[in-house]
Amino acid sequence: MIILKSKEEIEHLWESNQIVAHILSDLRKMVQPGITTLELDVYAETKIRQQGGIPAFKGYRGFPATVCVSINEQVVHGIPGSRRLKEGDIVSLDLGVILKGFYGDAAITIPVGKISEEAARLLDVTEKALYKGIEQAKTGKRLYDISHAIQSWVEGNRFSVVREFVGHGVGRDLHEEPQIPNFGEPNRGVQLKRGMVLALEPMVNMGTWKVRVEPDGWTAVTADGRLSAHFEHTIAITEDGPYILTLAS
């Protein structure tokens, strides 16, 4: 687990996360019916390399692309390709960047054209779940206060949280300690401290929380085929509370 100390470390981490944030906001504008998921991936990889960064996911445990693109019932880790987005889809984009040895990581779920009311509610509840978690990320709190805030918000809205994938520490590596489940009892887990860098990432399903992995070995889908959404920010815990590194500024 990284504990930020020097100003230089903070600046590098900030830069890396800002690349992620800006590319995701570009991709949000590019998402429309007819675009292929590979076009989104090529754009992201090109932009990262132009800025001297490295795609963090490409080659990670053999993942073949820059962006994880997960459509509709796909939860996470979808592989970009020739599939075209169509009106009414929802698409989750998860992006990681390495710059000067520091990792940035964030995800958003985007509506493609006009989506159903229930899908729109899923996106809204999932994004708010992320912010419920972020609110808890401050000194004096414990790790599972984040988990509990996310789970109770999501379940209070009659959706479910995925158990199989979790948030994580991030900084010098893509996945550092601690693991941050999106479910759990409050008042447990490690004490949160200033300088910690965490990637919070609720994955929320409309139906069952259960998932399975497709035969490609990567794409996780909901067990019941219903929709899933995913929002992620990388944050640093400061003396003034949580600071979101992946908000584009």
Interaction site with Mg ion (CB under 5 A): 105, 199
In the complex with Mg ion, the residue whose CB is nearer, 80 or 104, is 104
Work out how close the CB of 19 gets to Mg ion at its nearest, in angstroms, rounded to a whole number. 15
Work out how close the CB of 6 gets to Mg ion at its nearest, in angstroms, rounded to a whole number. 24
Work out how close the CB of 158 gets to Mg ion at its nearest, in angstroms, rounded to a whole number. 26
In the complex with Mg ion, the residue whose CB is nearer, 115 or 246, is 246
Handedness of CA 113, 114, 117, 118 (dihedral sign): negative
In the complex with Mg ion, the residue whose CB is nearer, 73 or 105, is 105
Work out how close the CB of 201 gets to Mg ion at its nearest, in angstroms, rounded to a whole number. 5
Work out how close the CB of 33 gets to Mg ion at its nearest, in angstroms, rounded to a whole number. 28
| Distant-in-sequence, close-in-space partners of 181: CB < 8 Å, separation ≥ 6 | 144, 147, 163, 166, 167
In the complex with Mg ion, the residue whose CB is nearer, 192 or 197, is 197
Work out how close the CB of 232 gets to Mg ion at its nearest, in angstroms, rounded to a whole number. 5
In the complex with Mg ion, the residue whose CB is nearer, 125 or 198, is 198
In the complex with Mg ion, the residue whose CB is nearer, 17 or 205, is 17
CA–CA distance from 101 to each of 9, 17, 59, 98 (Å)? 10, 12, 16, 6
Are the beta carbons of 95 and 24 closer than 8 angstroms?
yes
CA–CA distance from 67 to each of 43, 73, 79, 115 (Å)? 10, 17, 8, 22
Work out how close the CB of 249 gets to Mg ion at its nearest, in angstroms, rounded to a whole number. 20
In the complex with Mg ion, the residue whose CB is nearer, 35 or 248, is 248
